[in-house]
Amino acid sequence: MSRTRLSAATNTWAIFQREFMALFYSPIAYVVLFLFMISNGWIFYYYCVNYARDPQQITLVIRSLFSFAFFWVLPLSPLLAMRLFSEEKRTGTIEVLMTAPVRAAEVVCGKFLATQLFYMLIWSSLLLFVLMLEVLGKPAGPDWGPIKSMYFGLFFLGCMTNSLGLLASTFSRNQLVAAVLSLSGNLLFFSLLFLGWIYRETPELQRLFHYLSFQAHFSSEYIGGVVELRYIVFYLGFTSLFLFLSINMVNGRKWR
């Protein structure tokens, strides 16, 4: 049993290394990182100037920065994950991968973990702006509580959106199609909050849509420094579902 687990870990690690390095050779990854830094850098500068005379400047700048950056949740995972299986299908390397002595679960987990790490590296670039406020804003400095809770939530939300992007990439050899499918799923979860407003006179439906919309999670809890366990369960539940479906999709192709 231990030898089997060691083999599975070794195979997953090999796939992880392969995919993680492939992201550094992918032009789209650098384009995404560049646009992410430029857009958030401009927002950071704008709000620093706009709140220059406000005694709560640092708190307002951080809240505004993360509120704007949160919208990157929608396209970030689709852009990073769209190539995971679509590129393999387009180039024909999927056949080589499926005939290798690796299981579908090892392939899926390795690709997922590589995307998740790169995803968090992109989000960690925002810490440069926070550190600037830490250095220049002494002796007050930023409140790290909401920042930690935002990153905590972004990690688990990334697990869900990246696993959805991975699942979408198993459906098509066209990366654009995979990205659109993944983006559509993200938009669905994002827009459920608006249904809560429409059905605000029905408390049960309003609570349901609030729970299913990750926009609601961050706009009311995480950005305020509150970590809700029920939302973590929500993210991990859908992550497990999407990874399970991805493994079945890959297994279906392997035995076709």
Q: What is the average pLDDT value for the chain, to the nearest integer?
A: 83
Q: Give the range among 99-113, 144-158, 173-187, 188-202 with minimum mean pLDDT.
A: 188-202
Q: What is the dihedral of CA 235, 238, 243, 249, to 10 degrees?
A: -160
User: What sections of the chain are H helices per DSSP?
Assistant: 2-24, 27-50, 57-69, 73-81, 86-91, 93-99, 104-124, 127-136, 144-169, 175-198, 203-212, 214-220, 229-254
What's the CA gap between 184 and 165, in Å, rounded? 10
Q: How much is the CA Rg of the chain, to the nearest whole Å?
A: 20
SS3 43: helix
Whether residue 221 is predicted with pLDDT greater than 80 in this model: the reply is no
Whether residue 119 is predicted with pLDDT greater than 90 in this model: the reply is yes
Structure confidence by residue, pLDDT tens digits, 50-86: 877 776 778 888 888 888 887 888 899 999 988 888 8
Please tell me what DSSP assigns to residue 224.
G
**Which is more confidently placed, 212 or 18?**
18
pTM of the model: 0.88
**Domain assignments of the chain as residue spans, ordered by start:** 2-254
Angle at 63 between CA 62 and CA 69, to 5 degrees: 85
138's tokens = 């002494």
Q: What mean pLDDT comes out for the span 103-112?
A: 89
Angle at 219 between CA 181 and CA 112, to 5 degrees: 40
Distances (CA, A) of 253 to 22, 85, 89, 95: 23, 12, 11, 9
% of the chain exceeding 90 in pLDDT: 20
Whether residue 92 is predicted with pLDDT greater than 60 in this model: the reply is yes
**204: how many CB neighbours lie within 10 A of its CB?**
8
Q: What mean pLDDT comes out for the span 1-8?
A: 68
